[in-house]
Structure 1
């Protein structure tokens, strides 16, 4: 076997203006000889074409050995199902085939009467001879290129055999030549100021053709906040897609995006963009392939100016007060990676620390075998306070340690510090990324930098040294919205050496907002029947109406001993035995009897009708849960 199947972008072949030729190569060796039923099971070789364009011309080159070439039949099938006979039993007793088949050649392959050179070591293209095929390849013109093209080869007689070595399929179609440039208005803006990004898409002049449905993907990086956009087309700051539209040959389309810098001093922010869609193939680039070296992508960077000072964290607002997990009041077995603690007014909080590489280290000064509880790295607190210390030796920049904090229920907010996020030349460059979740949805915290680190979005990067007892390396993390899981990922950024040395951070006390339930209620009705119309019943006397009352807990705390009542007006009469409960109006199918006793009162909801009032009860309602109760009445 020679080379595996490959698809190669070829340089321009001689063709009409506005056209580009793509080359697809199959070099998987294969033997073929006569069939029991001639050509019933031919040798097949395929070309997988991913570029989409309208075919203007097709050529194919073939290299194979075969004694008595007159036994050979070859056909090419397009993804659309069109079949063209390339070679049909010509050449008599001549041997081998090393030929490019091209409609533009004036001489048919039927006239080919020479032996060709074809061995496993023969390098093609170029091919030894050029001929027109047995039937015209122009039958494929106008079809779409995308899909599997299939070459079939067979021997239709006995005695002789052959070996396929290589075939090259050349497809020619129209193209555009799009390129993207991106600039930034200020390479050293101050934090809090506005800057602009300008993106321009150029479509080169002839022989390029007009490109339609052009779009550019420019997802704004962490460290800037979208303000506005003006220029050609529209920009969606959520998806990052600039919908450009049509770009005629020889023209440029531009847009200016205004953003506010919200990264701290010293932060370097890189913004990359790429053409993500076009109606036409591009001569020298592929849209949306995540390239960083083609002319349809570009990036710019700026570094936030100003002297570094420690930021001011947001004030944690807790309507129901706070509760604290305090490392001074608990223990941690040195070297353990999983522990849980009871936190007042919250429940059991779990800690789990995992690594993707590297090794935990042991140091008596910092509590022994890491992870460990220690008070040598203090974050500037006096007297010194305990924290969980992660001392680790990573072997490359990509390895990380992740601390996951799992709460028993969501809290409205939380705040804590991480100590010693800093940098040591030739040793390490700390990076911390903090994420959260609430009911499975992502929650992004606010990170506030220290003097030895800067913040971009929800990541902090150490770029100066901080002593063990200094506050310079502190980072404050604040969750200002409900969260039930917190994830802290520790590793290195690009200033670190390829093989970092030992490094560490410490996670200090965590202040949680006490959970708060937030119950809301809604009520809807529908007419089931009125004795008159079966398709559009009305709430007339004698009609039966179904009511549904829904309670929802939109808060972060669990509500207990929940009760909701609905007193019926004199204009309706309760229908006995019609009550049911569930988690929504549509699924409320658990039958409830009319009294307030029995197992049906706790399965898990209860309902009772007494003296004209419907009352529903739930022992608990967790955050995000709902309780629906339905019942029927008759209109008086």
Structure 2
């Protein structure tokens, strides 16, 4: 057995490693009468702040195995108990702070040299049971093969004991909600309590707690120790002596709709001294410095009614049944009449369990209707899949449906965030909920399980103003586990308002000079008057071959060589000659003067674009 000390930077803690590499055969023993037992002798006495255990072994069907770790004081922790299914071998570091539990590990491990270990998982029971104990003595690991048929070989184990710093405060957080089933519009309160353990040698100072109120409640007031900022979600607690509890009550109004489950997550975000078994502000969901509570509003949720899409120029349907997509491709194009080629680009931080494709796996209550099917495996609940829909021209409005936005306990919690842009400016859609999800603003969250073949998980997104880019972000809500399982949605057909142009003309004039006054010229005979004719497109489509004319009245005379063009009256600085030929006719605008008419031309004028014609006249 080998041992060594590894320094840890935070609060001068030291990680001590103890290794046992005595190999041995793992044989069947349904009663665990025959085991592989390995010990780690710790000859120094320190207070244990954290325990991790690495195990390397070969064994077919590792779900045959049970592993325990026992401290010198006799405390035993179940490391793993018959989990892993038909997967082979074990090359895992067991760590309470890991994102996923060992019960979720169902793939084969390799048996190469360690450390480092191939994977990290939380054990079956928490290793925090050892925190605060003395390290001195013999630690014992026992491996039992409790199922007949398959056997294996133990290779190595590493016990990592982190020593507690001389100064620490063991903080813990609890949280309750006053009513687990309030009515929508009712009043409830959250109560937060932070305790510094009586066994802590040090008072904690600079303590803060982060409790950002979730969508579905509205802040009313807060009372208790310290101060709470509802804008930032920070409860400033300050100092907590050993053996002391600080409490805060936050009063809120429930704004969530009927039958909606709202979860509120809280964590200690700062402390002046180390904590033996937790780390402030690390977004953990399984340490004693974080807490979560939820409530479900009374009543039965019904599906909402989407707003009517108003399209003066008619609509165009993007029907996926009439389109194609290369299976597994992250990009695709759908070509439809009146609009053109619509681009789709899909990127994921997870892994597509089934290649991205068009199919009718999720029907949403329809029959034989293809959708853009996204079946994704995430390893953390912060990962997302982003679909960007790029239109070749803006449309006055759009509406589309997403199927199967729902929830599965201890599996996933679908979360959809939908945004849009028009000429670079943000556009927010209206989302309409289904039976198994609820909506806040442009976010839809699944909280009930839906069948793939029903419309219960449907979410409808409606853009009632011009849009040229739509972004759909698919991931998990905080009610999902830290390591979600596979989940899927289907983006169904789009209805687009047909593009339309709306052209308007504005005419401005000012007296440039009158030959008399240099500061306040008047429109008298001989005065020079400058005109600007501004043509603007406030519609959602690009207008082509735009021509504007302005006739010079008899009391004015056009000034040759005075014409300028540009995107606005102030920006009209491009000189134009008086004829309708030459390169100046497409730079990008053209102008000419013939008879008594000034003519301006734009080959195209996009949404929110303008072109200006500027010229001078003299007063007769």
Q: TM-score range by the shorter chain?
A: 0.5 to 0.7
Alpha-carbon distance change, 614 to 291 in structure 1, aligned in 2, over 3 angstroms: farther
Please give the alpha-carbon distance, in whole angstroms, between the structure 1 residues aligned to 2:293 and 2:449: 28
Note the residue ranges of structure 1 that are not aligned, 5 or more in a row: 7-183, 198-217, 230-238, 242-256, 273-289, 293-298, 363-369
**Number of positions where the alignment pairs a residue of Structure 1 with one of Structure 2:** 394
Does residue 308 of structure 1 match 2:301? yes
Question: Which of 358, 362, 372 is residue 357 of structure 2 equivalent to?
Answer: 372
State the Cα deviation string for residues 310-343 of structure 1 (Å, max 9, x = none): 1111111111111121110111111111111222
TM-superposed CA distance for 1:189, in Å, is 7.1
Q: Conserved in 1, the CA contact under 8 Å of 2:415 and 2:446?
A: yes
Does residue 408 of structure 1 match 2:408? no
Note the residue ranges of structure 2 that are not aligned, 5 or more in a row: 1-6, 12-176, 190-210, 222-229, 233-250, 267-280, 284-291
Q: Conserved in 1, the CA contact under 8 Å of 2:547 and 2:602?
A: yes
Q: Which residue of structure 1 lines up, in the alignment, with residue 330 of structure 2?
A: 337
Q: Which residue of structure 2 lines up, in the alignment, with residue 23 of structure 1?
A: none
State the Cα deviation string for residues 354-387 of structure 1 (Å, max 9, x = none): 11234x113xxxxxxx211111210001x22001
Q: Secondary structure at the match of 2:501?
A: coil
TM-superposed CA distance for 1:614, in Å, is 1.9
TM-superposed CA distance for 1:300, in Å, is 11
TM-superposed CA distance for 1:603, in Å, is 2.2
TM-superposed CA distance for 1:220, in Å, is 9.5
State the Cα deviation string for residues 406-445 of structure 1 (Å, max 9, x = none): 1111111111111111111122111111111111111111
TM-superposed CA distance for 1:619, in Å, is 1.6
Alpha-carbon distance change, 325 to 615 in structure 1, aligned in 2, over 3 angstroms: same
The worse-fitting range, judged by mean Cα deviation, of 454-463 and 586-595 is: 586-595
Q: Conserved in 1, the CA contact under 8 Å of 2:217 and 2:252?
A: no
Alpha-carbon distance change, 538 to 351 in structure 1, aligned in 2, over 3 angstroms: same
Q: Which residue of structure 2 lines up, in the alignment, with residue 476 of structure 1?
A: 460
Quote the RMSD (CA, aligned, Å): 4.2
Q: Conserved in 2, the CA contact under 8 Å of 1:435 and 1:458?
A: yes
Does residue 564 of structure 1 match 2:556? no
The equivalences for 1:356-505 within 5 A come to 356-358=349-351, 360-362=352-354, 370-381=355-366, 383-505=367-489
Alpha-carbon distance change, 312 to 571 in structure 1, aligned in 2, over 3 angstroms: same
TM-superposed CA distance for 1:269, in Å, is 8.0
Please give the alpha-carbon distance, in whole angstroms, between the structure 2 residues aligned to 1:374 and 1:396: 27
TM-superposed CA distance for 1:495, in Å, is 2.1
The equivalences for 1:166-205 within 5 A come to none
State the Cα deviation string for residues 454-478 of structure 1 (Å, max 9, x = none): 1121111111111121111111111
Q: Which residue of structure 1 lines up, in the alignment, with residue 557 of structure 2?
A: 573
Q: Which residue of structure 1 lines up, in the alignment, with residue 321 of structure 2?
A: 328
Please give the alpha-carbon distance, in whole angstroms, between the structure 2 residues aligned to 1:220 and 1:554: 40
Please give the alpha-carbon distance, in whole angstroms, between the structure 1 residues aligned to 2:557 and 2:515: 16
Q: Which residue of structure 2 lines up, in the alignment, with residue 319 of structure 1?
A: 312
Please give the alpha-carbon distance, in whole angstroms, between the structure 1 residues aligned to 2:183 and 2:559: 70
Alpha-carbon distance change, 534 to 318 in structure 1, aligned in 2, over 3 angstroms: same
Alpha-carbon distance change, 3 to 465 in structure 1, aligned in 2, over 3 angstroms: closer
TM-superposed CA distance for 1:306, in Å, is 2.5
Alpha-carbon distance change, 540 to 430 in structure 1, aligned in 2, over 3 angstroms: same
Q: Which residue of structure 2 lines up, in the alignment, with residue 531 of structure 1?
A: 515
Does residue 609 of structure 1 match 2:593? yes
Q: Conserved in 2, the CA contact under 8 Å of 1:189 and 1:261?
A: no
State the Cα deviation string for residues 510-538 of structure 1 (Å, max 9, x = none): 11111111222212222211101222222
Q: Conserved in 1, the CA contact under 8 Å of 2:258 and 2:300?
A: no
Q: Which residue of structure 1 lines up, in the alignment, with residue 262 of structure 2?
A: 268
Q: Secondary structure at the match of 2:379?
A: coil
TM-superposed CA distance for 1:594, in Å, is 2.1
Q: Conserved in 2, the CA contact under 8 Å of 1:411 and 1:514?
A: yes
TM-superposed CA distance for 1:188, in Å, is 6.8
Does residue 633 of structure 1 match 2:583? no
